[in-house]
Amino acid sequence: MARLRLFANLRELAGTGSVDIDAETVGDLLTRAGSSYGPAFVAALDTAKVWVNGEPATSELAVSAGDEVAVIPPVSGGAATLMDNPNLSIIGVIGTAVLLSVTNAYLSAEWFAAALVLILSLWAVDIVRETNTGGMAMQLPPILIGILAGVAFVAASPGDNRGFAAFGLVLVVSLIVSLVWSVAVEEARHLSAVASTTVITTMASLAAASLMAARLVGGATVTGVFLIQVIVAGIATVIAFRVAILDPSIVGSLGAIIAGVVAAMLWDLPVVEFVLVGVAVALALLAGKGFGGLCRTGEPYVLDRPPGVLGDLDGAVLAAGLLLPVFYLVTAA
């Protein structure tokens, strides 16, 4: 059976985000779905776009077991989600890697901070847009405030322990801003909106604080190792998808660990400690990707890539927030 994934009002009309349907073609699959979910669902299908395994599809296209059929209605302003241009996701990920790597290695901490705020803000816009397509009403302003607070508090904290000095304050501010916003804004008062906004605000603000502190305290080395881990994990995952022999999540995790060890050896850093850091980063990449997919679609994504231009950064954001605490923990042990 092929899996039908539904978004926005189609999901609401069907009462589910995905369903497995036995069909031979896309048209047959949609017809069977329409007969199950009623005339309003059928009417909404008329303006929706259909994708099979990430590629535009027609009703005559044959489907088989394991195929994923995504049906995406127009969103506000007539704009569509990421799948209108899958190549934009590749550009976004590569641009993120290049921008952070260049500003970390060759430019000042101020430029790195600016790049960090830009990337995290764009990621926040992306995940809020995708999440709200499903009707969750995640709020963008608290997330942006949290990102700015994460960078600003670290920059204003003195000494080599500036990460720890700022982390507690960043966490408190993230919670307060998210909860105050949920009281002040009517559409943000639903429990799902409060929960999703609070968690994503915390993730983004701690990522900003952690990477900024690592850059200021450890120079470009610690942040450089982290960026290498994330980039190698992403490349390894893509290769595993293409080869289709090994589990992509396992390959990506091993890639993050091995990349951290190799980078630590090259930069004369404690290898054993960076094995532990690599394990933490690998686990965070998986957890962040799963939670990001849960926000964006209502289902956790571990093997498939979630929708959104910057959906591939979900895991990296959570991993970034853990970088400095885990590094200090293992090096102090």
> What Rg, from alpha-carbon coordinates, does the chain have?
21
pLDDT at position 45: 87
Residue identified by tokens 């605000």 is 201
Mean pLDDT over 221-250 rounds to 84
Which of 107-111, 177-181, 188-192, 228-232 has the lowest average pLDDT? 188-192
Kindly report the average pLDDT of the chain as a whole number. 84
Looking at residues 256-270, what average pLDDT do you find? Answer: 87
CATH of 2-78, one of 3.40.50.720, 3.10.20.30, 3.40.30.10, 3.40.1260.10: 3.10.20.30
User: Cβ distance 324 to 295 under 8 Å?
Assistant: no
Contacts of 53 (CB under 8 A, 6+ apart): 67, 68
Q: Which residues pair with 18 in a beta bridge?
A: 5
What is the mean pLDDT of the segment spanning 292-304?
73
The reported pLDDT for the residue numbered 7 is 75
Tokens at residue 261, please?
Answer: 């060890």
Q: Is the pLDDT of residue 80 over 50?
A: no
Confidence at residue 101, expressed as pLDDT on a 0 to 100 scale: 94
Single out the residue of 32, 41, 37 nearest to residue 9, CA to CA.
41
pLDDT band at 243 (very low <50, low <70, confident <90, very high): confident
Give the tokens for residue 324.
Answer: 């400095």
Q: What are the tokens at 191?
A: 């429990």
| pLDDT attached to residue 174 | 93
- Domain ranges across the chain: 2-78, 86-332
Q: Is a pLDDT exceeding 50 seen at residue 90? A: yes
Give dist(CA 164, CA 25) in Å, integer: 56
Contact 96, 207 (CB under 8 A): no
More confident residue, 84 or 204: 204
pTM beyond 0.85: no
Cα 218–Cα 319–Cα 118 angle in degrees, nearest 5: 75
Higher pLDDT among residues 22 and 73, named by residue: 22
Phi, psi of 132 (to 5 degrees): -70, -20
pLDDT of residue 79: 40
Q: Is the model more confident about 239 or about 55?
A: 239
Q: Is the pLDDT of residue 38 over 70?
A: yes
